[in-house]
Amino acid sequence: MRDLIITENITLDGVIDAADGWFMPAGAEAVDQSDVIAALAEQREAADAFLVGRRTFEQMRGFWPQRTDDETGVSDYLARVQKYVVSTTLEDPGWEPTTILRRLDEVRALKQRDGADIVATGSLTLVPALIAAGLVDEYRLFVYPVVVGRGQRLFADSTELPRLELVEARPFRSGIVLLRYRAG
């Protein structure tokens, strides 16, 4: 059985919605972020499936394939990884290799197949649905030392929160901290 990993950039007050702009720590632009980039590369290498909702998929499809200056490896990874988009309305993904899933039951079936980790990120509608359906095995939260005060929070509407066990806390030079939790 494959693990479904939720990876989110999140603020200290739990916001995962960057609609008002990216939440970089003060002065982070001047800090070497190669340690964060390396952690993201580790995560990519452990996954062979990338899962998102339709809006996140469309935003990424409009951005990453056109990037020719990406030194992080994200663009190359997204070009080759099997992408899964959960949508009831999308007909033609227009970004290969992509499979459209219509229901969460199909995500559950995907977890049953042989393979490496399945990583979901962004997807402000899909991620809460995955949490509510009990499909998440691990949370990888890149916590930014920023408080934004408003925006969608990771567990905002959860009535029954999962039990979480901390398996890693890794600080980075920028002040960002990776917190990994297994759902129990």
Domains present along the chain, CATH in parentheses: 4-183 (3.40.430.10)
CA neighbor of 4 nearest in space, from 70, 51, 40: 51
pLDDT digits (tens, 9 = 90+) for 32-73: 888 998 999 999 999 999 999 999 999 999 988 888 888 888
CA distance 120 to 5: 6
pLDDT digits (tens, 9 = 90+) for 78-118: 999 999 999 999 999 999 999 999 999 999 999 999 999 99
Contact 181, 167 (CB under 8 A): yes
When pLDDT is cut at 50, 70 and 90, the band that residue 157 belongs to is: low
Percent with pLDDT over 70 in the chain: 91
Phi, psi dihedrals of residue 105, rounded to the nearest 5°: -60, -30
pTM here?
A: 0.90
Contact 4, 137 (CB under 8 A): yes
